[in-house]
Chain A
């Protein structure tokens, strides 16, 4: 039986044919990639709030009791699909198990790295933080997240969402979004993210008391997240 390695080498014609097929396949693949790029798998709006924040203390960027010793810090970009998944899938349970009972507070640190709509959205939610309604508006924006940098974050959208949030003055949100106060909040979060070497979103970190926060593993699952919070509460 002939060893495979001693088979005849393909002729020049066969090699040329193989390379021509390869180039053709590659071009077809590129055309397919452009034509079939995924753009709409996560952009359908979620019609109703995924979590009820009524009655939970809120001050600026922080949701939850100021007395809570453990803080769950969330670095997020409002255009980031994984951040939307975190908010829609994990956040409601975190709120009900830890934040509403006053055991944990959670702090939003917004980033704007995906593009112009990230910064527009960030400015609106930070403006809402000046009325202590950041968490309601960011939840509503995630539910209505559009295609990246498609211009989906409009004043009209924000006004519509703000109108559904009790206690939130939409006119003030629109005005404050361009304020120096919001400029300072944007810069503050960016500096905190740089210091924490945040490489992607969502990035979650836990702070116990005044100790330095420790970042959780990227992509942490809900059960590992709750285990980390339980550890922090027990420490």
Chain B
């Protein structure tokens, strides 16, 4: 896969992350109500004590991280690539933690969070790491 393709892929996945985290942030500040197209645990997860860190919504932290990632991907200098890979790794670890919390503590899954934790964060970590080799 060419570096250009990886870059476009990384930007697309980061943009999806902005979309998901942005929606959850909007829902958090708007009402606490989340449209839950699959399952039904979105509200449970969003309203749990794990949805905030020191009063800051986890979704907002994610939104900030994805915006920074997108900027790093656009910048694309070697140092930006390294920073993007490192930030993606932080996101992957934190997403794994959120996944474990949903499964074992809250015992409910939010489809939006799963999309982030299972698809977006791992994909971004892989793609940004692969770009370090090119």
Contact = CB atoms under 8 A, between A and B. Distances in A.
A61 B52 CA distance: 34
Nearest to A4: B77
Interface bin, chain B? 35 or more
Interface string A205-220: 0000000000000111
A200 interface: yes
A199 B37 contact: yes
A199 B76 contact: no
Interface in A27-42: 27, 29-30, 32-33, 36-39, 41
Interface residues of A, number: 43
A196 to B, nearest CB: 13
A23 B89 contact: yes
A38 B53 contact: yes
A82 interface: yes
A136 interface: no
A26 B125 CA distance: 13
Contact of B35 (A5, A19, A22, A199): A199
A3 B132 CA distance: 18
Interface string A47-91: 000000000000000000000000000000100111001000000
B55 A41 contact: yes
Interface in B5-24: none
Contacts of B79: 7, 10
Contacts of B32: 80-82, 85, 200, 219
Contacts of B118: none
A201 interface: yes
A14 B86 CA distance: 11
A14 B82 contact: yes
Contacts of A10: 78-79, 82, 132
Interface string B44-67: 101111111111001000000000
Interface of B: 27, 30-37, 40-44, 46-55, 58, 75-80, 82-83, 85-87, 89-90, 92-94, 97, 132
Given A33-B97, A114-B47, 13 more contacts: A18-B86, A19-B86, A19-B89, A22-B86, A26-B93, A26-B94, A32-B54, A38-B49, A38-B53, A80-B47, A147-B49, A200-B32, A219-B31
B58 to A, nearest CB: 7
Given A4-B76, A30-B97, A199-B42, A218 B86 contact: no
User: Which of B31, B42, B78 counts the most A-chain CB atoms under 10 A from its CB?
Assistant: B31
Contacts of B33: 82, 199-203, 218-219
Nearest to A199: B36
B14 to A, nearest CB: 16
A22 B87 contact: yes
